[in-house]
Amino acid sequence: MSGKSLLLKVILLGDGGVGKSSLMNRYVTNKFDSQAFHTIGVEFLNRDLEVDGRFVTLQIWDTAGQERFKSLRTPFYRGADCCLLTFSVDDRQSFENLSNWQKEFVYYADVKDPEHFPFVVLGNKIDKLERQVSTEEARTWCMENGNYPYLETSAKDDTNVAVAFEEAVRQVLAVEEQLEHCMLGHTIDLHSSSKSGSSCC
Ligand SMILES: Nc1nc2c(ncn2[C@@H]2O[C@H](COP(=O)(O)OP(=O)(O)OP(=O)(O)O)[C@@H](O)[C@H]2O)c(=O)[nH]1
Ligand SMILES: [Mg+2]
């Protein structure tokens, strides 16, 4: 199993203009466009990587954050393995909208167990000097809303961009390993005369 490449779908959500497309393009093509156009609907790009000895093909889905494109993006949420909730540290409203993005994702992706779904929160544009959201405040939100990992990024300066996508992979692998562990517990249970040793799921 560990030798096989795994295809993982991660989806970038967040308000229009926070830098979702810029993060994806920086990570996959190592380019940054200071005059990027708003996304209409969705786009995706793949990148292969290795995380902790696992070979992964990351399929990154970049969505349109503007409200008027809602009906174009939501059909693509299903099947996502991880959701990157993105805001811009110089835009308070984009931070305050994180809960709405989380709810929209859970609803349209039809997530059965939201408490255990791997979300990662990204505070982008940390190269900007005028911040409207502090690191502490963002960390607190993450802790109180599901204990999500929080990373501060700059697509412009290429700060933490690869780290952010690698963290997404780690979160998915951690959930997957937990599931495998649970299934193993059940398998043992079926063939054993004694009661199951696992009670994790
Ligand atoms: N200074 C700075 N500007 C950034 C950064 N990331 C993106 N931008 C700029 O912010 C603007 C919006 O970036 P996009 O990547 O298009 O934002 P988006 O989230 O994809 O927006 P939608 O497609 O409308 O949802 C562009 O002008 C980018 O050049 C960053 O890390 N730092
Ligand atoms: Mg975009």
Q: Which residues line ligand 1 at a C-beta cut-off of 6 Å?
A: 16-22, 33-36, 38-39, 64-66, 124-125, 127-128, 154-156
Where does the pLDDT of residue 176 fall: very low under 50, low under 70, confident under 90, or very high at 90 and above?
Answer: confident
Q: What are the residue ranges spanned by the domains of the chain?
A: 4-183
According to the model, what pLDDT value does residue 194 have?
43
3 state SS of 69: helix
Nearest to 157 by CA among 130, 131, 135, 125: 125
Report d(CA 56, CA 49) in Å as an integer.
5
Q: Does the pLDDT at position 185 exceed 90?
A: no
Ligand 1 probe mutation, 12, 15, 21, most atoms within 8 A of CB: 21
> Closest ligand 1 atom to the C-alpha of 12?
19
Tens of pLDDT, residues 29-66: 999 999 999 999 999 999 999 999 999 999 999 999 99
Contacts of the segment 72-78: beta carbons below 8 A, 24+ positions apart = 72/40, 72/41, 72/42, 73/41, 73/42, 74/104, 74/108, 75/108, 76/11, 76/42, 77/11, 77/104, 77/105, 77/108, 77/109, 78/108, 78/109, 78/110
Nearest to 33 by CA among 46, 43, 20: 20
Q: Does the pLDDT at position 193 exceed 50?
A: no
Strand partners, 61: 11, 44
What distance in angstroms lies between residue 125's CA and the mean position of ligand 1's atoms?
A: 8
What distance in angstroms lies between residue 3's CA and the mean position of ligand 1's atoms?
A: 36
* Beta-carbon neighbours within 5 Å of ion ligand 2: 20-21, 39
Which residue intervals of the chain are DSSP H helices?
Answer: 20-29, 70-73, 92-96, 98-108, 135-144, 161-191
What distance in angstroms lies between residue 187's CA and the mean position of ligand 1's atoms?
A: 48
Residue nearest to atom 2 of ligand 1 (CA): 125
Nearest to 148 by CA among 156, 157, 139: 139
Tens of pLDDT, residues 144-170: 999 999 999 999 999 999 999 999 999
Q: How many Cα atoms occupy the beta-carbon half-sphere of 49 within 13 Å?
A: 19
Domain 4-183 has CATH 3.40.50.300: yes
